[in-house]
Chains A and B, each alone.
Chain A
């Protein structure tokens, strides 16, 4: 018997027999989730993103200087 077979599926997001997990299990999952995500968040950001944004900003400055206007929109 496979637990997945009982999954009612998504349609409409029906209340799914509210299986309540033990608080310790929930807590443990919560901690792992944070550890997973924080590990990724703390990864060094590649320079290419900062370069890209600097380029976009420079482009826009040139364009608006051409328009003799420093308004963004």
Chain B
């Protein structure tokens, strides 16, 4: 792979790297620092990338390792997720979906990192369970279990927070076994 091809590949992945980094760190500012570090490392290690394999998966592995070794602590100190997301939300149209998205992000931010990252990878980035397992260095079964827990936790957080928005149909739909009495009473 030529340097120019590699560079083009990196450029194409920047939006996904930023989205993943922001989801992981909860901060756009940290996300951009993280993406910059990731690009530098990727460039310096381009000889280790195997053409024909997923560049996204390779870059996510670098980004994730960088996050856990260097950024996690800073992320806890900064904690500006709601502020930065709110700014982004203010720019776009459609009020109603903004509220939904804001609520969802608040709930997403409450998940443990290990659940949040796999939910994002499997549910939004187009990475497979296999790729996700490889990126995280765990078994596929573990990924599945984390995704399940993440979904269940989100359902809890979202339905308790905004039951009146869901309507009677959704209320029963949201009444998962585990959440039990609180939901049924409402």
Contact = CB atoms under 8 A, between A and B. Distances in A.
Interface of A: 1, 3-4, 6-7, 10, 12-16, 18-19, 21-22, 24-26, 28-30, 32-43, 45-46, 48-50, 52-53, 56-57, 60-61, 72-73
B19 A35 contact: no
Interface of B: 2-4, 7, 10-11, 14-16, 18-19, 22-23, 32, 35-36, 39-40, 43, 46-47, 88, 92, 97, 100-101, 104-105, 108, 114, 119-120, 123-125, 138-139, 141-146, 148-149, 151-156, 158-159, 170, 173-174, 176-181
Given A21-B151, A35-B101, A37-B19, A57 B7 contact: yes
A35 B158 CA distance: 15
Nearest to A73: B47
B7 A35 contact: no
Given A43-B18, A46-B32, 4 more contacts: A13-B143, A25-B151, A29-B158, A45-B14
Contact of A18 (B3, B35, B138, B148): B148
Interface of B is mostly: helix
Nearest to A15: B145
B101 A72 contact: no
A56 B170 contact: no
A36 B19 CA distance: 9
Interface of A is mostly: helix
B155 A29 contact: yes
